[in-house]
Each structure stands twice: as C-alpha cells, then as structure tokens.
Amino acid sequence: MSKVTPGSLEPGMKTAKPVVNTSGMVLLGENTELTTELIDRIRNMDVDGVYVHGSSKPPVPIETLLADLDNRFRLVCDAPYMDIIKNAIRKHVEGLYE
C-alpha cells in the first residue's frame, strides 16, 4: 500500500483505504477501482493523498532485501532465539513479494 497525491493517481489504481478529505469526510470507499471520472472528482475536492494498493516505488528486488537481511544478522546468527527472529522476518519479506 502507498499514499499517492491526487495528481499522481492513474486509472486502474485501487484504493486501499477510504478516500477522505482534509475534514475527515469519507468521499469514496476502499477497494474501489479508480476511473478517470473518479480521479477528476477527487482532484476537485480537498484531498491530501489517496492510499492505493501496490507500491509506488520501484520495487527493490527480493534478492537485495534478503541479502541485506543476511548482512544485518551476520554477527548474531548463533545467539539464542535470533534464528527464530531471522526466520520470521524472512518469511514476512517473502510474503510481501507474493
């Protein structure tokens, strides 16, 4: 999920959370696919940003993330319980890429 400015919205994006204006009023529900019309309307209302599914940043390859992980844990692999924590974060990262 990522937050996108109204100016950067594109048709096909799907809302990850309800779209609210700056007063907190809900304008559009979550899990709604955005059409050109909806995007136009959002741009005309007082909206800060819209949460949409998916990442707006260029995806970091999973291999890089996992290599970073190995590097981070390199001095503590043998410490008690650190293997559990490492497995957990590994599983989580893999889950993010599914």
Tell me the closest approach of the beta carbon of residue 36 to another protein, in angstroms.
26
| Distance, CA of 85 to CA of 98 (rounded, Å) | 20
Write each residue from 10 to 49 as x if it is in contact with another protein (CB under 8 A), else as -, in one continuous string. Answer: --------------x------------------------x
| Distance, CA of 20 to CA of 89 (rounded, Å) | 33
Burial of residue 9 (CB within 10 Å: 0-12, 13-18, 19+) is: buried
| Positions that interact with another protein (CB under 8 A) | 1-3, 24, 49, 51, 65, 68-69, 71-73, 75-76, 79-82, 84-89, 91-92, 95-96
